[in-house]
Amino acid sequence: MTTPALLPLSGRRIPPLNLGPPSFPHHRATLRLSEKFILLLILSAFITLCFGAFFFLPDSSKHKRFDLGLEDVLIPHVDAKGAKSSGVFLIHGPDEHRHREEEERLRNKIRADHEKALEEAKEKLRKSREEIRAEIQTEKNKVVQEMKIKEKKPLPPVPIPNLVGINGGDPEDNDIREKREKIKEMMKHAWDNYRTYGWGHNELRPIARKGHSTNIFGSSQMGATIVDALDTLYIMGLHAEFLDGQRWIEDNLDFSVNSEVSVFEVNIRFIGGLLAAYYLSGEEIFKIKAVQLAEKLLPAFNTPTGIPWAMVNLKSGVGRNWGWASAGSSILAEFGTLHMEFVHLSYLTGDLVYYKKVMHIRKLLQKMDRPNGLYPNYLNPRTGRWGQYHTSVGGLGDSFYEYLLKAWLMSDKTDHEARRMYDDAVEAIEKHLIKKSRGGLVFIGEWKNGHLEKKMGHLACFAGGMFALGADGSRMDKAGHYLELGAEIARTCHESYDRTALKLGPESFKFDGAVEAVAVRQAEKYYILRPEVIETYWYLWRFTHDPRYRQWGWEAALAIEKYCRVSGGFSGVKDVYSSIPTHDDVQQSFFLAETLKYLYLLFSGDDLLPLDHWVFNTEAHPLPVLHLANTTLSGNPAVR
């Protein structure tokens, strides 16, 4: 059956447009279209009428302009006597003629515009569906192109800090060199398998040989492993792999996604990873991506107190907190672990917004009462009050303390406020949380509801390195004491590894009567390729050069190789006390970012990333010390 064609005013045939579902009868679509067309004409006539009326009616809108006090700027209406009309629109003599001419000109313009719009509408209706689609696609491509050009626009140049020791560290000793090579081979194995089976996904399932993700990364594939691993690849000299990762980031890493991510995790892994990759390689793209992502995180700070939400939707900017957190609270270790990256963002962009956000958090924390001088892990971002009184140097608290110390180090030791807060916090921790077991092991417990729980998490083992790093510059010259404390924590954490069947540490271990440094509950016996114990060995190695730390690190590397390595990568294990490992089938991104990096550094010379020039963020991404001597960040000439 042929479809009757419409014969519009212009006399040209308009092919019927069928935009309804496929089963929709064709002639009904045509009929709808003609109705639309008539409506369009009526609408156009109505608009013309309105415009006309607008210019013929007494000019009430101009009264509004006087009300705004802008009359002198907009139209200087002066009456015949030269007095200001104070709101009355008076027209006389030659002025009247000029106004009539002006109105006529405007009327003609409106008529011409209207006819042009009508012609364009008719033209559109003449086009086939395919032609319209093609036009839309062309428009879309244009917008994407424009966005890409905008994305590549370089940020204002700033003086790059002195980047010392981004290469090298070759050990003189053969045995050490071989060990270092072995760690590099492990990195290759982890990366290559991710490249083959998980490319672009956040993480890898090395046994199922496919991509993996968790809710911290949201619902989209953001290549977390690529971003997290970049600087490790760089310092190991795996340049082809680094370039491969860089290309993926250039072409695929997009933050305009409808995805709800953890502000903390995305900051430490993505922003930290991108900034470190930028400083090491000098490639502008990493800086640009870091800033794009940071902008997406900013809406998380829109809370009544300025304490950010734990999660934010990258597209809508809507934030919220974890359902499990005490009374809708934000988490100390999350909102307290943004400082390093945000200060660098302000430094690199010249935009103080990032610096202000984190300084606001610090100021707010300073003003608050602290039970026993301890910081509880939960803080409500609506009320600004603490949630449950639970204090921990492990999960939920850990990196907050770490970032106080590192803010001071990163500022070239000029941020005295941060150092003071760190010293106060460590004194309270020592007084209330650090104990010695009957067997002589020093451990860090957790403060819960008014009593000390004699349990230490694997995460808290990082504190051995932190105490050693903070020894220099401590109050009353207690450097020796803090170095010793760091060494004691390292020994305890080593024991937690040594007392298992696999020589890998459990997630959490107890000090209860006869039980020392051993996990009791089944749910705490797993090892997920975490770095904290090896991190502490590395810091202590750098400060003491005691060979035991290299030896302990090597034991851990061998255990990982033996029990966690599978043909498709590396996997965590579910029970470190069982001699036959059951794998959890996850290769965590921090295994490449941290565990393997700290092992590699442990078997490298101290000239690779020296600690007086670099400060490692909590995900082991090295950021250079900013030598802003005798000035605040806002006084920095790099900040405009």
For 125, the token pair is: 């209706």
Shortest distance, CB of residue 257 to ligand DMJ, whole angstroms?
A: 21
Q: Which helix H or strand E contains 342, and what residues bound it?
A: helix 339-349
d(CA 165, CA 169): 8
Neighbour count for residue 120 (Cβ, 10 Å): 10
- Give the 3-state secondary structure of residue 15: coil
Nearer to ligand DMJ by C-beta: 184 or 530? 530
CA neighbor of 253 nearest in space, from 196, 307, 293: 293
Nearest residue to the partner ligand DMJ, using Cβ: 618
User: How far from each other are the two terminal CA atoms of the chain, in whole angstroms?
Assistant: 71
Q: Which helix H or strand E contains 185, and what residues bound it?
A: helix 174-193
Nearer to ligand DMJ by C-beta: 14 or 393? 393
Shortest distance, CB of residue 444 to ligand DMJ, whole angstroms?
A: 15
d(CA 416, CA 422): 10
Shortest distance, CB of residue 158 to ligand DMJ, whole angstroms?
A: 28
Determine whether 113 is an active site residue: no
- Catalytic-role residue among 241, 488, 507, 585: 507
- Catalytic-role residue among 228, 260, 265, 619: 265
AA identity, residue 313: N
- Catalytic-role residue among 283, 488, 532, 594: 532
- Give the 3-state secondary structure of residue 251: helix
Nearer to ligand DMJ by C-beta: 321 or 618? 618
CA neighbor of 143 nearest in space, from 256, 288, 290, 19: 256
Tally of CA atoms within 13 A in the half-sphere of 582 that contains its CB: 6
Tally of CA atoms within 13 A in the half-sphere of 418 that contains its CB: 24
Nearer to ligand DMJ by C-beta: 193 or 399? 399
- Give the 3-state secondary structure of residue 440: coil
Instruction: Please report, as ranges, the residues that interact with ligand DMJ according to CB under 6 A.
Output: 399, 459, 530-531, 590, 594, 618-619
CA neighbor of 232 nearest in space, from 173, 287, 281: 281
Shortest distance, CB of residue 391 to ligand DMJ, whole angstroms?
A: 17
d(CA 358, CA 308): 10
Beta strand ranges found along 429-575 (DSSP E): 434-436, 442-444, 446-448, 451-453, 455-457, 508-512, 515-518, 565-566, 569-570
Determine whether 507 is an active site residue: yes
618 is in an annotated binding site: yes
d(CA 269, CA 588): 12
Burial of 431 (0-12, 13-18, 19+ CB in 10 A): exposed
d(CA 156, CA 133): 39
Shortest distance, CB of residue 530 to ligand DMJ, whole angstroms?
A: 4
Tally of CA atoms within 13 A in the half-sphere of 36 that contains its CB: 14
Shortest distance, CB of residue 113 to ligand DMJ, whole angstroms?
A: 59
Nearer to ligand DMJ by C-beta: 423 or 619? 619
AA identity, residue 568: G
Shortest distance, CB of residue 454 to ligand DMJ, whole angstroms?
A: 22
Shortest distance, CB of residue 590 to ligand DMJ, whole angstroms?
A: 4
Determine whether 341 is an active site residue: no
d(CA 190, CA 594): 13
Nearer to ligand DMJ by C-beta: 319 or 397? 397
169 phi-psi bin (left φ>0, alpha ψ -120 to 50, beta other): left
d(CA 343, CA 354): 7
Nearer to ligand DMJ by C-beta: 516 or 594? 594
d(CA 614, CA 626): 9
Nearer to ligand DMJ by C-beta: 270 or 355? 270
Determine whether 524 is an active site residue: no
Nearer to ligand DMJ by C-beta: 554 or 590? 590
For 344, the token pair is: 């660098």
d(CA 237, CA 227): 16
AA identity, residue 99: H
Shortest distance, CB of residue 244 to ligand DMJ, whole angstroms?
A: 23
Burial of 397 (0-12, 13-18, 19+ CB in 10 A): buried
Task: Identify the DSSP state of 381.
Answer: T
Q: Which helix H or strand E contains 134, and what residues bound it?
A: helix 129-152
Shortest distance, CB of residue 435 to ligand DMJ, whole angstroms?
A: 23
Question: ∠486-490-494 over CA atoms, to 5°?
Answer: 170
Nearer to ligand DMJ by C-beta: 260 or 334? 334
AA identity, residue 91: I
CA neighbor of 425 nearest in space, from 341, 384, 356, 365: 365
For 408, the token pair is: 């001071």
Catalytic residue annotation: 265, 398, 507, 532
Residues marked as binding for Ca(2+)?
618
Residues marked as binding?
618
